[in-house]
Chain A
Amino acid sequence: MTPAGARPGGGEAARVGWFPYALIAPAMLTLIAVGLVPFLYTVYLSFHEMRHAQIGDWAGLSNYRALLLNPRFWHSAGVSALFIATAVPLAFGLGLAGALILNRGICLRSVIIPVRFVPTMMAPAVVAILWKIMLAGSWGLISYNVIERFGILTGTSVLASPALALYALVLVDVWQWTPFMMLALFAGLQSLPETPYRAAAVDGATALQAFRRLTVPLMMPLMVVIGLLRLIDASKVFDTIFLLTGGGPGTATESVSLFVYKRVFDFWDLGPAAATAVVIWVMFFAFANGFYQVARRKLGAF
């Protein structure tokens, strides 16, 4: 009989209690070294004056105050938010539609899948150059042969228009990342059990009902993870903006990534740049955490 209060096998458990931690220790230490330490150092820098890349006096909250009072920061945050709010749902919707089509066992599927993956495999700089060749005003393939030839847009080009440039960048992002969404969701669809669908068919469920009542709930954990990954990735967009518009026209496409980049690598304004990095991290952490909580509690994911 086990003594009161003692757990069965408690000695064994106590003996091996450290073992799981030992197993993950190398990974955790690496993570701390390459992730947490630089971040904490950035926090440290954000509370100091920086001049010529040298740490100066304690600055308190002055870097944060200057940042939060800078309208250009809020403008760039707005640009990023609009970019995420349009690019992610579009890529997700198109990816899901593509995955459902692929899942129906269409012909040439084995050819389509690797071909569709090509944009995702491209480096962002290559994607930017490719779309420059497509959209460049008066000499781009699409601009010259379609947009200008048929008078779709006059007096400006897509990337030169303050009203359209951001949506052109969204298009580029959607073009690059929809295949990834499609293939990841297709893999999820392929792994769903067939039994519930057979039962639903016996009960006379329509395709739409099966999708709403079976596919969506069963796919929800995967969809949330993929959506979150895409969201994180879209928030970091930099290369295509940098190469296609430089943040212009004016500041129409200046995302927070570009805002920070300029402060670090162009202006060498490292104190405010560190504060910006911290603020962006906090904002995004709060958003991603909120997304996670909603997904966990309301959608049953995780």
Chain B
Amino acid sequence: MSARRTRQIVRKTWPVPLAALLLAIVPGLSPAQTWSYKDAAKPYTGRSITILDEVTPLQESMKALVPEFEKETGIKVDYQLLNHFEVISKGQADMLSGRGAYDAVMLHSPQMGLLLEAGVIRPIDEFLGNKALSNPALDRADFIEPAADSLTKFGGKTYGFLNWNYNVVYWARGDLLSHPTERAAFKKHFNYDLAPAKTLQQMRDIAQFFTRKKGEKLAGETLESDFYGIVLEGIKGGTTLWTVLDAFVKNFGGDLFDADGRPTVNRPENVAGVKFWAELWKYSPPGQAEYSLIDVPTVMGNGIAAQTLAWSDFVLGIDQPGKSKLAGKFLYAGSPANAQGKKRSAETEPSGIVISKHSKQPEATYLFIQWMVDKTTQQQLFAKSGGAGVPIRTSTWALPSLKQSRFTGLYAAMQESLKYGIAKPKAPKLYEIMDVLVGLVQEVGLGKKTADAALKEGQEKVTAICAKCTL
């Protein structure tokens, strides 16, 4: 080929490689970069949607971000925050009745069974597959698992996004566990080093070791009142039952239902798990049967117990200067495993934000709930909350606001617990089942019933509620 011909070809075809080069190096031209909420929302500008979420400090930070979404999209959002009980009763009533006042509702995982059975949650697969609506940078693989899938996936469809990820962690008195006298005494008694419990059996040993009477010594000081080796939630209601099931029973290989969803309340593994949990009551404060998830951190903050399993977000309210004299002296770890167990489980409460079947603005609503959980919003959310919160995305762990937080130990504990926490079973009658069982396990803790007798009674009562309980 002559040099002239070559030059002609180059002159005619030069735009092609240049365009390829531009596509490769200019970020503005990749799909993820060209997609924007502003463009996606153009057909829905001026529409109004109503969202129901549960009030917490993190959700209040989210509320402060909502005007940014409104400004970018032109979609008006009435973002309502109600307390736990109202979110359940109002949200559920709205969806079941077909009133449709709320376009999207925050759902706790125990609610999913009933609402899926009623068919009032709109799957989001059609929106996820819609290139105009779906953010290419959403990165669903970044959502923390197994929480996200166990919550939102059912029958081959996806129901909403993971939006809450509360979890139970091991919380102990670091000052006691590192005290030389206590460490020496513990080693002498149990023949292994005193350290944050990695197993339930170690947690029991620590509970036994630190349970002391008034007048005895603790870390070199004479106790002015009784001191307890452990404190756990024990009230009827709250999350007592789930702590028993997810933090103890499942680690013993037990579960409420078999693979077909039939009740297996009194299977031997469940009895073993409940027995172990009830044994810990010997080392707990006398009022444990009235302790809710709020009492447990209060007791830890008051310094009358050595360790607990507690909701990590409640730690944030106690381990703060001015909130507890022990602030900065606590340490955290993931929920302990069973030393003899094959399965590992932790108590977590993945909850989601779902679109109501009765929403008249599903596309605009999808855009909003997608925006709530996307990476940028989550980064802004944690920056706004000062790094205090519970991540729903793996990438959030790496944010500077978390990495530089004084709660790095707590975040590591959350990360560990979240590896083993799944959503509650999708059983339409789950609240009724919980109500029956929590009273029974509480009576085991109080020593009024044996684990065998209580779970046998539980099996009969749960079977009377549902022969096949899960969807």
Contact = CB atoms under 8 A, between A and B. Distances in A.
Interface in B289-311: 289-292, 295, 298-299, 302, 304
Interface in B422-454: 429, 431-432, 435, 438-440, 442-443, 446, 448
Interface stretch (B139-147, B235-243, B391-399, B404-412): B235-243
A136 B96 contact: no
A209 interface: no
B443 A249 contact: yes
B431 A266 contact: yes
A156 B289 contact: yes
B237 A246 contact: yes
A155 B286 contact: yes
Given A138-B285, A138-B299, A160 B304 contact: no
Contacts of A139: 285, 295, 298-299, 302, 304
A249 B289 contact: yes
B286 A159 contact: no
Contact of A157 (B114, B286, B431): B286
B158 interface: no
B295 A248 contact: no
B97 interface: yes
Nearest to B92: A268
A164 B57 CA distance: 37
B440 to A, nearest CB: 8
A124 interface: no
Given A265-B85, A266-B431, A160 B238 contact: no
B316 interface: no
B291 to A, nearest CB: 7
Interface stretch (A17-25, A40-48, A142-150, A178-186): A142-150
B432 A249 contact: no
Interface in A23-75: 52-54
A251 interface: yes
A136 B228 contact: no
Interface string A233-273: 00000000000111111110000000000100111110000
A240 B226 CA distance: 29
B290 A268 contact: no
A78 interface: no
A265 B226 CA distance: 40
Q: Interface size class for chain B?
A: 35 or more
Contacts, number: 121
Nearest to A156: B286
A282 B25 CA distance: 79
A53 B448 CA distance: 37
B288 interface: yes
Given A148-B225, A267-B429, A269-B432, A137 B291 contact: yes
Chain A binding surface SS class = loop
How many A residues are at the interface, by size bracket? 35 or more
A149 B118 CA distance: 53
A246 B235 contact: yes
B88 interface: yes
Contact of A248 (B92, B96, B237, B287): B237
B290 A245 contact: yes
B234 interface: yes
Interface in B82-126: 85, 88-89, 92-93, 96-97, 114, 117-118, 120
A261 to B, nearest CB: 10
Interface string B223-259: 0011010000011111000000000000000000000
Contacts of A159: 287, 289-290
A139 B93 CA distance: 38
Given A53-B93, A248-B235, A268 B114 contact: yes
B234 A160 contact: yes
A53 B290 contact: no
B452 to A, nearest CB: 17
Contact of B96 (A153, A155, A250, A268): A268
Given A139-B295, A246-B235, A250-B442, A265 B88 contact: yes
Contacts of A227: none
A162 interface: yes
Contacts of A53: 93, 96-97, 118
B446 A249 contact: yes
A253 to B, nearest CB: 9
Contacts of A156: 286-287, 289, 446
A160 B439 contact: no
B295 A52 contact: no
Interface in A107-136: 136
B237 A247 contact: yes
A144 B117 contact: no
A154 interface: yes
Contacts of A143: 287
A232 to B, nearest CB: 25
A267 B304 CA distance: 37
B461 to A, nearest CB: 10
Contacts of B89: 265
A137 B288 contact: yes
A154 B286 contact: yes
Contact of B286 (A148, A162, A248, A250): A148
A111 B439 CA distance: 46
A52 B119 CA distance: 9
A162 B290 contact: no
Contacts of B442: 248-250
Given A156-B286, A266-B435, A138 B96 contact: no
A235 B195 CA distance: 52
A266 B286 contact: no
Nearest to A268: B114
Contacts of A162: 446, 448
A249 B236 contact: yes
Contacts of B120: 52
B290 A244 contact: yes
A121 to B, nearest CB: 23
Contacts of B298: 136, 139
A248 B114 CA distance: 25
Nearest to A53: B96
Nearest to A137: B287
Contact of B304 (A138, A249, A251): A138
A267 B435 contact: yes
Contact of B432 (A165, A245, A266): A266
A82 B295 CA distance: 28
Given A136-B295, A139-B299, A245-B235, 13 more contacts: A53-B93, A53-B96, A136-B291, A139-B298, A139-B302, A148-B225, A157-B286, A157-B287, A160-B286, A247-B236, A248-B236, A249-B289, A250-B442
7 contacts: A52-B118, A138-B286, A156-B287, A165-B290, A251-B439, A262-B431, A267-B432
Interface of A: 52-54, 136-140, 143-144, 148-149, 153-162, 165, 244-251, 262, 265-269
Nearest first, the 10 closest Cβ-Cβ pairs linking A and B are A137-B287, A248-B236, A157-B287, A246-B237, A160-B289, A53-B96, A52-B118, A138-B285, A159-B290, A246-B236
